[in-house]
């Protein structure tokens, strides 16, 4: 059995031995005010003192006194010390009762004083050690770098403060805190005083002149963060933000690397939707999961989150070698998920996909492979239809052929009332899911998930704006009134996985994207967060909307009805399903035009298909006219 005391803790045992002996002797002095009857001298002889120490230290060891460094003593450790001291006191009392080596019993007052003195000595020694170790050195304000005011005085702030005080290498000296709760004013957290409320922040910044402001409120909304940033900007104080509370609690993080400037994602204003992934993704545990477009923005995040819930194998399919290499390396080397199979290939190659399905037999398919850049697809309509629409049909057909349990399509708000080739090609992808999901001859459960822009994805507006700002501008915006929906990539992927758990018969789900954001406001915010002034340091130029681009995207059309789903932030879109036979014919015609390279004919055919879809149970124009005449 391993000893609870190792050689690195022997000094702690020695100190405790001295404390026990001192407490025992001192208890007699306290009880009798230094003048006890001489017949009690026997209890103060060295062999009795050694007996008390010998009985006490093993109890301390059993209660884990020597399993941790004193510098990291916590409240829980203090309660453990109380229990250990009480048990040790009882053990010594029983030993003296059994041994009965003196006719005069130890007075009860001595026992009480001994336990109290020992508890004070044990707890005090540990707290003193921690205080001395964590005490800021003389001249710390200069030696430890930037003075910082921390916004927040809750759990996250106390974890951050403790780390900043303990680790001088981070280069920060906290000089105060602010918090929304006025009752916390003048309280101290790890010795750092709460200076006031966030409403008083401008005045505090003027008085204290910190080098930086750190936001440590994980639950703060984008609106609150934006307000704090604006206050700090008015006083010309840089603002940074800290990790979320879950990241801090885990403890396996590099705080210096986590402190970062406030990004536009932090201040957009929408409340991120948080889902308990482990509770909603049980259908992925123990399954072989295949992700097409695994190297893309959405596909790679899908892989990261799916790997967390324990699939038997995760099959990554992508035609981009660098992107596939990066996500496989991240999963295997950085995240330790070795049940990964990276397959380089075109998801539209039916032969290749059959080989993949035959080898791995995936039970769940997430189809994220697609071209998404609107202007590029307008210039390359053949590739838009081939890689978006026809590839979706191929993967869906192979999934059905090999008995996959679920097929989840990643769709887009541009599929609603589509005005561009990209939107039209994705609208057909949704129709494929609807039609295949209603087929009576397939057991595969089909669904599609529709959402708007994701923050920071490759080619999206935010990376473009960042590059333009880094070059000194101008930042180009298409139209002053243009708006878009935004959501973070992890948030969107969580909801995609969630929707995959409930979809089954070709349903189309739409994510709650919050309120739309004006693109010009987004550009303005990003310029200000970079420390520049819009229109003064960096210009904003309006270049006009691109062909087919809408001023305002929609999440559903007028002929679609929207109802709640079992999960918050996911809504079900219902409409009559597409006629599967008609859709197959049209897809065959499009495939032929793609094969022949007939661009103009393909565009005309695509417009005609999207303008007049044939739906099961829907009333056609001629039928409606006949009905009106009858009436």
Residue whose C-alpha is closest to residue 314's, from 294, 334, 344: 294
pLDDT of 408 above 80: yes
pLDDT at 276: 61
Measured between alpha carbons, how far is 169 from 172 in angstroms, rounded to an integer?
8
First to last CA, the chain: 94
pLDDT tens digit string along 578-621? 899 999 999 999 999 999 999 999 999 999 999 888 887 654 43
345 or 182: which leads in pLDDT: 345
Mean pLDDT rounded to a whole number for the chain: 81
CA-derived radius of gyration, the chain: 34
Residue 559: band (very low, low, confident or very high) from pLDDT cuts 50, 70, 90:
confident
467 or 624: which leads in pLDDT: 467
pLDDT tens digit string along 77-133? 677 778 888 888 888 888 877 766 555 677 778 888 888 888 888 888 877 776 665
**Rounded mean pLDDT, 344-352:** 95
**Rounded mean pLDDT, 223-235:** 84
pLDDT at 257: 52
pLDDT at 392: 97
pLDDT of 188 above 60: yes
Lookup result for tokens 């939707």: 273
Which of the residue ranges 122-136, 512-526, 613-627 would you say has the lowest mean pLDDT? 613-627
pTM to 2 decimal places: 0.68
DSSP 2-17: --S--GGGHHHHHHHH
Per DSSP, helices labelled H in 456-598 are 461-470, 489-502, 519-529, 580-596
pLDDT of 623 above 60: no
Residue 389: band (very low, low, confident or very high) from pLDDT cuts 50, 70, 90:
very high
Q: What are the domain boundaries of the chain?
A: 7-134, 140-262, 277-611
Cβ atoms 156, 248 nearer than 8 A: yes
pLDDT tens digit string along 417-454? 898 999 999 999 999 999 999 888 889 999 999 988 77
Instruction: State the fold for domain 140-262.
Output: Rossmann fold (3.40.50)
**Rounded mean pLDDT, 363-384:** 93
Tell me the two tokens of residue 307: 């790997």
pLDDT tens digit string along 32-62? 777 777 667 777 777 788 888 888 888 877 7
pLDDT at 248: 42
* Angle, in degrees to the nearest 10, between helices 222-234 and 201-208: 40
**Rounded mean pLDDT, 376-393:** 95
pLDDT at 318: 96
Measured between alpha carbons, how far is 336 from 322 in angstroms, rounded to an integer?
20
pLDDT tens digit string along 198-217? 888 899 898 888 888 888 87
Residue whose C-alpha is closest to residue 468's, from 412, 379, 543: 543
Domain at 277-611, CATH from 3.40.50.2000, 3.30.70.100, 1.10.10.10, 3.40.50.720: 3.40.50.720
Sheet hosting strand 570-574, strand order edge to edge = 340-344, 313-318, 288-292, 364-367, 406-412, 445-451, 505-511, 570-574, 561-564
Strand, helix or coil for residue 318: strand
């Amino acid at each position: 059995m391993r000893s609870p005391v190792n050689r690195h803790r022997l000094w702690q045992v020695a100190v405790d031995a001295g404390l026990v002996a001192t407490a025992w002797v001192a208890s007699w002095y306290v009880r009798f005010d230094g003048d006890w009857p001489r017949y009690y001298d026997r209890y103060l002889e060295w062999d009795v003192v050694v007996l008390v120490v010998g009985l006490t230290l093993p109890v301390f060891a059993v209660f884990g006194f020597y399993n941790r460094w004193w510098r990291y003593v916590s409240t829980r450790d203090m309660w453990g010390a109380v229990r250990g001291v009480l048990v040790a006191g009882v053990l010594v009392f029983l030993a003296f009762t059994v041994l009965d080596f003196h006719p005069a019993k130890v007075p009860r007052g001595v026992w009480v004083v001994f336990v109290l003195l020992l508890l004070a000595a044990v707890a005090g020694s540990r707290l003193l050690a921690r205080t001395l170790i964590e005490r800021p050195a003389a001249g710390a304000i200069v030696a430890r770098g930037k003075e910082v005011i921390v916004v927040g005085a809750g759990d996250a702030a106390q974890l951050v403060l403790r780390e900043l005080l303990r680790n001088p290498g981070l280069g920060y000296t906290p000089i105060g805190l602010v918090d929304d709760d006025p009752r916390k004013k003048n309280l101290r957290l790890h010795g750092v005083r709460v200076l006031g409320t966030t409403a008083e922040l401008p005045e505090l910044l003027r008085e204290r002149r910190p080098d930086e402001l750190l936001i440590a409120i994980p639950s703060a909304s984008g609106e609150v963060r934006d307000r704090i940033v604006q206050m700090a900007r008015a006083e010309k104080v840089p603002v940074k933000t800290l990790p979320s509370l879950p990241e801090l609690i885990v403890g396996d993080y590099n705080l210096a690397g986590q402190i970062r400037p406030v990004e536009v994602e932090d201040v957009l204003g929408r409340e991120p939707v948080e889902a308990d992934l482990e509770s909603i993704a049980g259908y992925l545990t123990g399954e072989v999961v295949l992700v097409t477009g695994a190297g893309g923005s959405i596909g790679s995040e899908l892989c990261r989150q799916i790997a967390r819930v324990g699939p038997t194998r995760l099959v990554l399919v992508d035609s981009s070698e660098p992107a596939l290499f990066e996500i496989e390396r991240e999963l295997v080397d950085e995240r330790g998920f070795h049940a990964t199979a990276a397959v380089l290939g075109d998801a539209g190659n039916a032969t290749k996909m059959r080989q993949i399905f035959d080898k791995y037999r995936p039970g769940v398919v997430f189809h994220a492979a697609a071209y998404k850049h609107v202007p590029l697809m307008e210039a390359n309509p053949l590739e838009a239809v081939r890689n978006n629409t026809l590839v979706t049909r191929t993967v869906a057909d192979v999934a059905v052929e090999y008995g996959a349990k679920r097929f989840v399509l990643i769709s887009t708000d541009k599929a609603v009332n589509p005005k561009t080739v990209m939107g039209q090609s994705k609208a057909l992808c949704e129709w494929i899911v609807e039609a295949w999901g209603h087929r009576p001859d397939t057991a595969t459960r089909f669904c599609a998930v529709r959402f708007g822009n994701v923050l920071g994805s490759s080619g999206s507006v935010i990376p473009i704006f960042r590059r333009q700002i880094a070059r000194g501008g101008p930042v180009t915006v298409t139209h002053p009134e243009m708006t878009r929906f935004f959501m973070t990539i992890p948030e969107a992927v969580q909801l995609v996985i969630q929707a995959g758990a409930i979809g089954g018969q070709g349903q189309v789900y739409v994510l709650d994207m919050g309120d739309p954001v004006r693109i010009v406001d987004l550009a303005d915010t990003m310029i200000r967060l970079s420390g520049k002034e819009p229109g003064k340091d960096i210009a904003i130029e309006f270049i006009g909307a691109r062909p087919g681009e809408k001023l305002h995207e929609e999440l559903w059309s007028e002929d679609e009805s929207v109802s709640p789903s079992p999960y918050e932030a996911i809504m079900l879109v219902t409409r009559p399903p597409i006629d599967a036979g008609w859709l197959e014919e049209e897809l065959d015609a499009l495939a032929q035009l793609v094969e022949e390279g007939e661009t103009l004919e393909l565009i005309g055919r695509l417009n005609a298909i999207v303008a007049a879809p044939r739906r099961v149970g829907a009333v056609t124009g001629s039928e409606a006219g006949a009905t009106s005449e009858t009436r």
